Structure 1
Amino acid sequence: MPDSIIDSREKIGELDKSNMIGSIEALGKQIEHAWEELKNISFTPKDEIRNIVVSGMGGSALGADVIAHLFKEELKVPLYINRTYSLPEFVDMHTLVVLSSYSGTTEEVIAAAAEAEARKAQIMVICAGGTLLELAQNKGYAHYKIDPVHNASDQPRMAIGYSVFGTIGLFEKAGLLQISDADVVEVVKTINKQVEACTIEVSGESNPAKALAYTMLDRQPVIIVADFLEGAAHVSANQHNENGKAYVNYKVIPEINHHLMEGLRFPKSNASTQVFIFVNSVLYPPKISLRMRLTQQIVEDNHIETMAVPLQASSKMAQAFEMISLFSFCSFYLAMLEGIDPSPIPFVDAFKEELKKQGKDYE
């Protein structure tokens, strides 16, 4: 597959059969759409909310992950992200449980819904349809029904704008978080600027997403972030796994300074197979920025290639989406360079089908 495919919208269209590039380029529109629709939702807490549990899997949990790290200093109560069938023991009438499933049929989330009801938790729902939507409508739960007009691929992982701002909007309705229309405008402007820089028509080294994709191609990349960008890194790694069909991981500073640096020497093939991507921000605390620099030097001392990605936006929320947009494009271009359609997830789908067949024996 000639590398020039990523410079040709026509050639990309032949491979990108579900129009994933349309979802990536419409991220800002997803956010605007979600923010406008959330204005029509109302919610009155029945009891004091002392903690939040967001129950979701895969792409449907990523929005909460972004929020948990982006707003850890603003959220008024603890936020727990639940990625399994059962809820944590502390869930009770003072817990806000947000059930998040793009399809509305995720079995782990459906199971958590029944448990949340039994424990008399306060429930909100975010989905695009399915069983969860029926449940929300029948029970009168406050809910945000995603109308994915700006998610052309209809892939849950590519509805990240709907997911993050849908969840933020629900938290706002519960009185747990507050952002302004101006904050949203800044995020959208940042994304649109990134789209202009990373779009198909911008070629070669002038396109940061394409440069990043070439660096990551046929390697095992590790994305290094810190502080408020941890959730954005999770989104980025997941999208590379599903879109690029590539093993991409992320690690967080300062945690890795206590162990990972000693794990770089072996196997010796690390020097030829790995690349560390350091995502830098002027909004990191100074001590964290120092750790980033020193860590990058140690990685290079172990003869492993590194690449620095500086973020430019002026706020934490805008930088998080600046990063998400960049790495979304990168994951897409990586798939194009590999000659694969980024949308299908055959192993995940086959696993789910086999789980249905064999799972009844474990109920």
Structure 2
Amino acid sequence: MRALIESFTSQIVDSLNTGKVLGDIKDDKTINSLIICGMGGSGIGGRIVLEWLEHTLNIPCVAHSSYGLPNFADANTLVLISSYSGNTEETLSAMEVALAKECIIGCITSGGKVRDWAKKYAVPYILVNGGHPPRSQFGQSVVQICRMLESFELIGPSIYSDLHAAVKLLNDSAYYIQSQAKRVAEQINKTTPIIYSGSGYEGVAIRWRQQIGENAKILCFHHQFPEMNHNDLVGWEGGNDSFSAVLFRNEDDAQRVKIRMEICKGIFEEKGATVVEVESKGITKLERSLYLVNLGDWVSLHLAEMNKTNPVDIKNIDFLKNKLANI
């Protein structure tokens, strides 16, 4: 896993240089909504890309991580199917519904049934490099989701320049990111971490939760400001020193969100929780998001090493899949 995290920026660059859409993009329909489907490591890329494009896209957009599709999906909905293995049960279910509803479809996969169905039904797809844990291929995922959106003319090619700028930032900050990640891991080790973000970075908070869970085998939770102020905050009346609170700080957080975070920080500390503030770097939301994603990946690896757990192993997921296969 260490080598895969170290290769994050080269993975982005390789994907920018080599990815291509196979099959024809048909332009005979107007796209009036977008659904990006995917689970776990295959799904989080779509959620974060939609956060980048929140103020760019002019159509309703949702990230979908379940069976089937929302009822609004129709022949003018672009459905992006993201399944690294190509055999994800829930995502295949979504693709079946998309085909039945005659949605506009694009696929991102390394093979499996998704590739087979894309070929059979003349659906455009991007074939990514396979053979790794899906969560380790986040760089491939976000690049190819952007490529598919650009191919359907929902975004322009300037996104690629933004990705290259993010790669430069991450490479220039590599030493600092790793040392910062080790400090954060040391602070939250032996606690139950709760990751808090502003509303435009919830996808990144989910990524941290996923990585800490899968790589370090530690239960981890997340929430976002200001929503947490209307529910989760009351739960802190029962907080104690077994918890840690990780607060993402981004320069584009709403001013009132910054104030709310500062007030809540005091509440967490009063309950004895370890509070860690993580400040992103970067000019654009894309840069800041990828900075935090890379940092979180390193945090999860350091936690795994501190607790002597295998970051690649996913025994419980394998157990579940084997049980489901027999039902």
Contact 2:37–2:46 (CA under 8 A) maintained in structure 1: no
Contact 1:224–1:276 (CA under 8 A) maintained in structure 2: yes
Equivalent pairs: percent with the same residue?
26
Long gaps (5+) in structure 2: none
Q: Identify the residue that residue 157 of structure 1 maps to in structure 2.
A: 135
Aligned-partner residue type, residue 144 of structure 1: I
Q: Identify the residue that residue 215 of structure 1 maps to in structure 2.
A: 187
Q: Distance in 1 between matches of 2:323 and 2:172?
A: 43
Structure with more contact order per residue of length (Cα contacts < 8 Å, sep ≥ 6): 1
Q: Distance in 1 between matches of 2:170 and 2:267?
A: 33
1:87-98 matches, within 5 Å, as 87-98=69-80
Q: Secondary structure at the match of 2:34?
A: strand
Q: Which of these residues, 29, 48, 57, is aligned with residue 75 of structure 1?
A: 57
Q: Distance in 1 between matches of 2:322 and 2:125?
A: 29
Q: Identify the residue that residue 112 of structure 2 maps to in structure 1.
A: 130
1:346-361 matches, within 5 Å, as 346-358=315-327
Q: Identify the residue that residue 25 of structure 1 maps to in structure 2.
A: 6
Q: Distance in 2 between matches of 1:327 and 1:183?
A: 21
Q: Distance in 2 between matches of 1:33 and 1:129?
A: 19
Per the TM alignment, residue 40 of structure 1 is displaced from its structure 2 partner at its CA by: 5.5
Contact 1:51–1:94 (CA under 8 A) maintained in structure 2: yes
Contact 1:46–1:122 (CA under 8 A) maintained in structure 2: no
Contact 1:60–1:101 (CA under 8 A) maintained in structure 2: yes
Q: Identify the residue that residue 192 of structure 1 maps to in structure 2.
A: 171
Listed one character per residue, the Cα deviations across residues 46-78 of structure 1 (whole Å, up to 9, x for unaligned) are 311011112211111101110122221112211
- Structure 2 CA distance for partners of 1:39 and 1:125, relative to 1, 3 Å: closer
Q: Identify the residue that residue 25 of structure 2 maps to in structure 1.
A: 43
Per the TM alignment, residue 249 of structure 1 is displaced from its structure 2 partner at its CA by: 1.2
Listed one character per residue, the Cα deviations across residues 132-157 of structure 1 (whole Å, up to 9, x for unaligned) are 11111232211111125xxxx81101
Q: Distance in 1 between matches of 2:118 and 2:83?
A: 12
- Alpha-carbon RMSD across the aligned residues, in angstroms, is 1.6
TM-score, with structure 2 as normaliser? 0.95
Contact 1:244–1:331 (CA under 8 A) maintained in structure 2: yes
Q: Distance in 2 between matches of 1:349 and 1:45?
A: 41
Q: Compare 289-298 and 95-104 and name the one that shifted more.
A: 289-298
Per the TM alignment, residue 179 of structure 1 is displaced from its structure 2 partner at its CA by: 4.9
Per the TM alignment, residue 39 of structure 1 is displaced from its structure 2 partner at its CA by: 5.2
Q: Secondary structure at the match of 2:286?
A: helix
TM-score, with structure 1 as normaliser? 0.86
Q: Distance in 1 between matches of 2:85 and 2:218?
A: 24
Q: Distance in 1 between matches of 2:205 and 2:146?
A: 19
Listed one character per residue, the Cα deviations across residues 167-201 of structure 1 (whole Å, up to 9, x for unaligned) are 111111111123523212211012223433244xx
Long gaps (5+) in structure 1: 1-19, 200-206, 359-363
Listed one character per residue, the Cα deviations across residues 11-53 of structure 1 (whole Å, up to 9, x for unaligned) are xxxxxxxxx1111111111211222234556623331101111
Per the TM alignment, residue 302 of structure 1 is displaced from its structure 2 partner at its CA by: 2.8
Q: Identify the residue that residue 7 of structure 1 maps to in structure 2.
A: none
Q: Distance in 2 between matches of 1:91 and 1:273?
A: 44
Listed one character per residue, the Cα deviations across residues 200-224 of structure 1 (whole Å, up to 9, x for unaligned) are xxxxxxx111111111211001111
Q: Identify the residue that residue 207 of structure 2 maps to in structure 1.
A: 235
Listed one character per residue, the Cα deviations across residues 224-266 of structure 1 (whole Å, up to 9, x for unaligned) are 1103211111111101110010111111000011122221122
Q: Is 1:168 matched with 2:146?
A: yes
Q: Distance in 2 between matches of 1:334 and 1:355?
A: 30
Q: Secondary structure at the match of 2:196?
A: strand
Per the TM alignment, residue 335 of structure 1 is displaced from its structure 2 partner at its CA by: 0.5
Contact 2:80–2:107 (CA under 8 A) maintained in structure 1: yes
Number of residue-to-residue matches in the alignment: 325
Contact 1:104–1:128 (CA under 8 A) maintained in structure 2: yes
Q: Which of these residues, 198, 216, 236, is aligned with residue 264 of structure 1?
A: 236
